[in-house]
Amino acid sequence: MPDVFDRLIGQARAVSLLRQYVRRPVHAYLVTGPDGTDLHEAALVIAAALQCPDYGCGVCEVCRLVLTGADADVTFVERAGLSWRVDELREAERVSRRRPLGPGYQIVAIEDVELAAGPTPSAPALLKSLEEPPPRSVFVLTAHETSPALATVVSRCLEIRLQGLTEEDVAAIVAADGVDDAVARTAAAAANGDVHRARILARDDALVQRAAQWRRVPDRLDGTPAAATRVIDEIVRSLDAAAAPLAAAQVEETRRRETTARELGVRVAARRELDATFKREQRRFRTEELRFGVRVLIEVYRDRLRDALAEPEDARSSARARAALHALDTLEESHRRLATSLDEGLLLADLMLTLGND
């Protein structure tokens, strides 16, 4: 029977454990998973399953309230800065001590608990709440990585590990948001296993056009530097345009943090750190976008290679097969370079000049 756990696509192993765990609740869960997994969704699902009289049917009023963030007994603690502050975690503890209004639990979710470690760790404030929670309180923590500094926190929780997602999983998740299947597949291919990025891309009408733009590149390169320069300029312009939705999301995030800080009566912490994080995100986005382009090009040259090999063997078809193979080598090399530090302009110049000669 479908239930709320069906929302955790690609996590069959974690889901089968969770279905058992929520029938015998413990006082603290910790959901961990590599970058790109949707830990927030997992925390919501666990909260719904704990509150629901049917352990997460996914359709009753209780489930609906939790999933839309409207259950008064489920609190996702807000963070004003980049790391968790002691007073924010104390606030979490205060909330956990409230008697639940409904028949279920008082559920307190704290996301990204890895941000409670660091140079001035706030994790000890969290430990206290995890040690002696009131009987009807449950903590749901999430973390993409757990450093040794968090070992004590981890040891007080039941850990649920999500696994990294395949491209098909990501496509299914994005399609489940109501996005057209073909768009979801293209977004997933461009997102490299990252659901968050895939969702941003799926809202980006220009993604399919960008894929088409990359696909046209080989036909437009004629071996002259002028053609390579024209193609590079166009790619850089479309990278700028592609990064625009992310920039908008960052403005939104800054605004949300300012509101939270105002409500808590504190200053927005570490504004400069936040800006640095956003810059890093932008850079990562552009790198992922280039990776997407390189993968589109790899497909194009694989097709060319297949076509050349399917023809009767003669000097012309052999030359075309060799050219496609050489292009594929160049592209694989670029793909590798994208994993290390990277100068976008240099990489594009190398790539386009080499491909132009194939």
Sheet with 28-32, edge to edge strand ranges: 74-76, 106-110, 137-143, 28-32, 158-161
Helix (H) or strand (E) holding 31: strand 28-32
Inter-CA distances, 290 with 135, 293, 336, 347, Å? 51, 5, 12, 10
Listed ranges 60-68, 164-172, 225-233, 337-345: which one lies at the site for Zn ion (CB under 5 A): 60-68
Segment lying near Zn ion (by CB under 5 A), choices 53-61, 89-97, 262-270, 271-279: 53-61
Stretch that binds Zn ion, among 54-62, 208-216, 273-281, 348-356 (CB under 5 A): 54-62
Nearer to Zn ion by Cβ, of 57 and 349: the residue is 57
Question: Is 317 strand, coil or helix?
Answer: helix
Please state, as a whole number, how many other Cβ atoms lie within 10 Å of the Cβ of residue 74.
26
Of 104 and 193, which CB lies nearer to Zn ion in the complex structure? 104
Least Cα distance to 202 among 175, 241, 165 occurs for 175
CA dihedral 93, 98, 103, 106 (to 10 degrees): -10
- Could you tell me how many residues of this chain bind Zn ion (CB under 5 A)? 4
* 19 contacts Zn ion (rule: CB under 5 A): no
Q: Closest CB to Zn ion among 54 and 91?
A: 54
Residue 57 engages Zn ion in binding (rule: CB under 5 A): yes
Report the alpha-carbon distance of residue 124 to residue 146 in Å, rounded: 15
Residue 63 is a binding residue for Zn ion (CB under 5 A): yes
Strand 28-32 versus strand 137-143 pairing type? parallel
Q: Is 52 in the site for Zn ion (CB under 5 A)?
A: yes
- Considering the rule CB under 5 A, would residue 141 count as an interface residue with Zn ion? no
Q: How far is the CB of 66 from Zn ion (least distance, A)?
A: 8
Select from 17, 60, 82, 268 the one that contacts Zn ion (CB under 5 A): 60
The interface region with Zn ion, picked from 49-57, 103-111, 203-211, 219-227 by CB under 5 A, is: 49-57
Contacts to Zn ion by CB under 5 A: 52, 57, 60, 63
